[in-house]
Amino acid sequence: MATLTNPPSNFCFLLLLLLAHFNLGKSQLQLNYYSKSCPKAEDIIKQQVTQLYHKHGNTAVSWVRNLFHDCVVQVRNKYPYR
């Protein structure tokens, strides 16, 4: 019979499996999402990410994540009860 040698890591593993099960196939990211409201959005984002990568190297991903979270915060401030 198997024993639990490290309960916290086992719990994390089971939690990840559970979350993966419920989130499977529910991705809301899609290409051309802003094609009608802002046709140049994807080109602008691509250009900015490329500039960040050339300027900051491997830390460009962190910059993109920070920019994304800033956008999410601004949206939530606009609709605080969502």
Catalytically active residues are 69
Q: How far apart are CA 40 and CA 26, in angstroms?
A: 26
Q: How far apart are CA 11 and CA 43, in angstroms?
A: 42
Residue with tokens 């500039």: 51
Collapsing DSSP to helix, strand or coil, 36 comes out as coil
